[in-house]
């Protein structure tokens, strides 16, 4: 079966270069009408130009596709709303959103300025929220939507010098988890990609041989799948150099301690059992954790819980 996006309208943010460009070209090649959004700034978010987005639109049009350029700053909600309104007026809807725009202002935590922390959060996390918010009501009204956010291994696993970027990227996982739950009834599926690729964001971090393997185009198939008709929802997918993986947040089974051991010493004495991951599982919602703990406490107390 060939995955296509004929009749669908997509917004790809940060699409003037790198990953976003690859995603925009890929979606257009499979039939989507694409809003190529890019503020056109430098890697740290300064400056601004519509030229990168216009160049991608030209490439799409030369290949026979439909696209429009948009220079909205994703950290400006009014500009984001205007972008969505423009796409809806021209093509009737926004069905697909790939929130990819981002900047870097790396510094060790001790040297990081408050403004640099705030700006990275503003673009990555708040900007992603703005994009989702701007398309949400339309997707709910049409009972259809596919959204892919962009996290990072820096947020999932940590990376020196990226407290701002890591905090923003891990925050996006929380946003995805909630939106996936809230969108289920209206068939809005929300997933998140954790890419690693050779882009201007990573070019100084990787050796030349790795850069050759890690083309942005290697990430796009995962994004296309998670934007497709039969996409999953609430999935974190890792991708890079042709490798694809699903990432899950797991919780150990844990143990319930008697009240006499509700002390730091009790935790220390039983920590090996508490951190034992042999029965770890991914919980499907916040309340599932509550239910698990209550069930363990009830079992210790010999209480039969009412259903």
Residues with a known catalytic role: 165
Contact predicate 156/169, CB 8 Å: yes
Instruction: List Cβ<8 Å contacts ≥24 apart for 64-70.
Output: 65/28, 65/29, 65/32, 65/33, 65/34, 66/28, 66/33, 66/34, 66/91, 67/24, 67/28, 67/33, 67/34, 67/35, 67/36, 68/34, 68/35, 68/36, 69/36, 69/38, 70/35, 70/36, 70/37, 70/38
> Which candidate, 67, 62, 84, places its Cα nearest to that of 138?
84
CB atoms within 10 A of CB 113: 11
Q: Give Cβ neighbours of residue 290 (< 8 Å, ≥ 6 apart).
A: none
CA dist 304 and 183 (Å) reads 34
Residue with tokens 């291994």: 153
What's the distance, Cα to Cα, between the start and end of the chain in Å?
A: 44
3 state DSSP class of 8: coil
What string of DSSP letters covers 138-199?
A: HHHHHT-EEEEEE--HHHHT--TTBHHHHHHHHHHHHHHHHHHHHHGGGTEEEEEEEE---S
């Amino acid at each position: 079966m060939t995955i296509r996006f004929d009749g669908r309208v997509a917004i790809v943010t940060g699409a003037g270069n790198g990953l976003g460009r690859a995603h925009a070209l890929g979606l257009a090649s499979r039939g989507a009408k694409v809003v190529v959004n890019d503020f056109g700034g430098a890697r740290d978010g300064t400056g601004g130009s519509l030229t990168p987005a216009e160049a991608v639109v030209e490439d799409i049009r030369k290949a026979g596709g439909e696209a429009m350029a948009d220079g909205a700053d994703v950290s400006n909600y009014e500009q984001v709303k205007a972008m969505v309104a423009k796409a809806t007026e021209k093509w009737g809807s926004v069905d697909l959103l790939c929130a990819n725009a981002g900047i870097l202002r790396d510094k060790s935590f001790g040297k990081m300025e408050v403004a640099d922390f705030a700006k990275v959060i503003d673009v990555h996390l708040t900007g992603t929220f703005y994009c989702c918010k701007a398309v949400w009501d339309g997707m709910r009204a049409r009972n259809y939507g596919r959204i892919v956010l962009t996290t990072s291994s820096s947020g999932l696993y940590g990376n020196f010098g990226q407290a701002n970027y890591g905090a923003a990227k891990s925050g996006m996982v929380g946003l995805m988890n909630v939106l996936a739950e809230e969108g289920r009834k209206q068939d809005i599926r929300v997933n998140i990609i954790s890419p690693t690729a050779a882009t201007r964001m990573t070019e100084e971090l990787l050796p030349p041989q790795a850069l050759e393997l890690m083309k942005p185009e290697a990430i796009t198939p995962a994004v296309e799948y998670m934007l497709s008709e039969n996409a999953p929802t609430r999935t974190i997918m890792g991708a890079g150099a042709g490798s694809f993986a699903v990432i899950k947040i797991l919780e150990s089974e844990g143990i319930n301690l008697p009240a006499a051991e509700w002390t730091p010493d009790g935790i220390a004495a039983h920590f090996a059992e508490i951190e034992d991951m042999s029965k770890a599982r991914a919980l499907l919602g916040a309340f599932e954790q509550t239910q698990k703990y209550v069930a363990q406490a009830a079992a210790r107390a010999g209480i039969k819980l009412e259903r």
